[in-house]
Amino acid sequence: MEYLDLTTIMIRLTAAFLAGLVVGLERQIRMKPLGFGTFTLVASGSCAFMLVTESLMLSGEGIPIAAGVVTGIGFLGAGALIKEGPSVMGFTTASAIWLIGATGVAFGAGYYLLGIATTFQCLLVFFIDFLFEKRGFGGHSKRLTISFDQRPSETKLIELLMKFRPKVESIEICQVPCAFTYVFRAKINLQDLDELSNFVKGLEGVTKFQVE
How do residues 79-90 score in pLDDT, each as one tens digit? 767 665 556 667
The rounded Cα 163 to chain-centroid distance in angstroms is 29
Residue 98 has pLDDT above 70, yes or no: yes
Decide which of 23 and 199 is more confident: 23
The model's pTM is 0.65
pLDDT given for residue 17 in this prediction: 92
Q: What is the phi/psi pair of residue 58, to 5°?
A: -60, -25
pLDDT given for residue 142 in this prediction: 76
Distances (CA, A) of 86 to 46, 80, 108: 34, 17, 40
pLDDT given for residue 1 in this prediction: 43
Mean pLDDT of 117-136: 82
pLDDT tens-digit series, residues 138-197 = 556 777 888 888 777 777 777 777 777 777 767 777 877 777 888 877 777 777 777 778
Rounded (10°) CA dihedral 67, 70, 74, 80 = 160
pLDDT given for residue 174 in this prediction: 80
pLDDT given for residue 61 in this prediction: 60
* CB-neighbour burial class of residue 163 (10 A; exposed 0-12, middle 13-18, buried 19+): exposed
pLDDT given for residue 18 in this prediction: 92
Number of residues written out for the chain? 212
Q: What is the DSSP code (8-state) at residue 87?
A: E
Mean pLDDT of 102-118: 88
Q: Which CATH class is domain 140-211?
A: alpha beta
Rounded (10°) CA dihedral 107, 109, 114, 118 = -50
Phi-psi region for residue 137, left (φ > 0), alpha (ψ -120 to 50) or beta? Answer: beta
Q: Where are the beta strands (DSSP E) in the chain?
A: 82-84, 87-89, 140-148, 167-176, 179-188, 206-211
pLDDT tens-digit series, residues 4-52 = 788 888 899 999 999 999 998 888 887 776 777 888 888 988 888 888 8
Q: 133 with 140: CB under 8 angstroms?
A: yes
The domain ranges of the chain are 6-134, 140-211
pLDDT given for residue 85 in this prediction: 58
